[in-house]
Structure 1
Amino acid sequence: MARVALQKRDQLPEHLRALWDRMTTYGPFEGQAAAMANRLPVFEHMWRLLTQLADEGVLPKRYLELAIVAVSLVNQCDFCVAQHTPKLAVEGITTEGAANLLDWEKHPELTEVDRLVVEYAIAVTSNWHRIRDAMFERLRAHFNDAQIVELTWRIALCGAFNRFNDVLQVEVDV
């Protein structure tokens, strides 16, 4: 049970209800949004950012979902692993494969670029202060600056969501 009251769509100010509706097309994140809605600027800015990033799509979904699940596995966030594993399945990674992403070096379902994304997600989450220029040289072989910025931001943001969901005990939506 969540540690804060979960707000409902009809409790939002009228101008934010369309954003709630748009958020539900992003995935089954009503519990997370309902917790965020206790502080309307958090709800509004996070969901506007996430839906805008989804609409613009500069980063392939496969790489985004690989990064999110890898970060969530490192942080042991059951909520985010459960919410994003089905999205990763759409991108061709089995449930078992998603559960084993931290073994990226030998992972049979990952391409070279997939492995790089997972390695980077783990590094940004666990060893951000030790990432060397060589990692960015490898990233630049596959991604432009906008994609690297978004990948880095989404990895860092996922870590924040992991903590938010775990600390407030937001339950997995099904």
Structure 2
Amino acid sequence: MIVEVPEDKDPIMYVWGEMVPEIGIPASRFSTSVYEHSTLGLREFEAARLRIAQVNGCIFCQDWRTERDGVTVEDGFAEAVEQWRTTPAFDDRTRLAAEYAERYALDHHGIDEGFWTRMRAHYTDREIVELSMCIGSWMAFGRLNRVLELDTACALPSHFAERATS
């Protein structure tokens, strides 16, 4: 990790909750609200979230699967997100969510009217704003965790197993 965390502290809880509580705690509330209050469908939500996780390189975010009422996206969904341009597994909304996330993160100046025309054919203005806020949250906080190397402190067991065999 880039910052020093006492051995008896959970790195995420310490950095977000104790080091800068005036910023970290409200930021955590924003991050949580994205999951608790999103009205977007699970597939488009996860396509955008996973694309940002892939761009950020956040190990924890790539492992995470959002669950709603006991439902998660199918196995292989993350691989489909990597191939969002060509995968037959996505409908137009899901494909656009992944595309928007990638463009938002890598080329926000290149988002043109043609893209917005396609988005408006499948998303309402309210959904576009909601998706934009979700993407912004994932980009900022996933990147923060990756840059400070906190993503490995909160990695799911699958990555610990992979690192142990590498």
User: Percent of aligned pairs with the same residue?
Assistant: 26
User: What count of residue pairs does the alignment treat as equivalent?
Assistant: 151
In structure 1, what is the equivalent of residue 66 of structure 2?
Answer: 87
Equivalent residue in structure 2 for 1:69, among 32, 50, 53: 50
TM-fit CA distance, 1:7: 9.9
Contact 1:33 1:43 in 2 (8 A): no
Q: Specify the SS of the correspondent of 1:58.
A: coil
Alignment of 1:1-174 (within 5 A): 1=1, 3-5=3-5, 31-37=11-17, 38-83=19-64, 86-87=65-66, 90-94=71-75, 96-170=76-150, 171-174=153-156
Structure 1: distance between partners of 2:4 and 2:123: 39
TM-fit CA distance, 1:97: 2.9
CA-to-aligned-CA distance 1:31-79 (integer Å, 9 cap, x gap): 5344211211223212222333434333223322211110111222222
TM normalised by structure 2 equals: 0.75
TM normalised by structure 1 equals: 0.72
Contact 1:75 1:162 in 2 (8 A): yes
C-alpha change, 1:128 and 1:77, in structure 2 (3 Å) is same
TM-fit CA distance, 1:128: 0.5
CA RMSD of aligned residues (A): 2.7
Q: Specify the SS of the correspondent of 1:87.
A: coil
Structure 2: distance between partners of 1:32 and 1:81: 16
Structure 2: distance between partners of 1:163 and 1:2: 13
Contact 1:71 1:155 in 2 (8 A): yes
Structure 2: distance between partners of 1:102 and 1:164: 22
TM-fit CA distance, 1:149: 1.1
C-alpha change, 1:7 and 1:142, in structure 2 (3 Å) is farther
| Comparing 55-64 and 38-47, the one that deviates more | 55-64
Amino acid paired to 2:66: K
Contact 1:104 1:110 in 2 (8 A): yes
Contact 1:116 1:139 in 2 (8 A): yes
Structure 2: distance between partners of 1:150 and 1:6: 37
What are structure 1's unaligned runs of at least 5 residues? Answer: 12-29
In structure 1, what is the equivalent of residue 163 of structure 2?
Answer: none
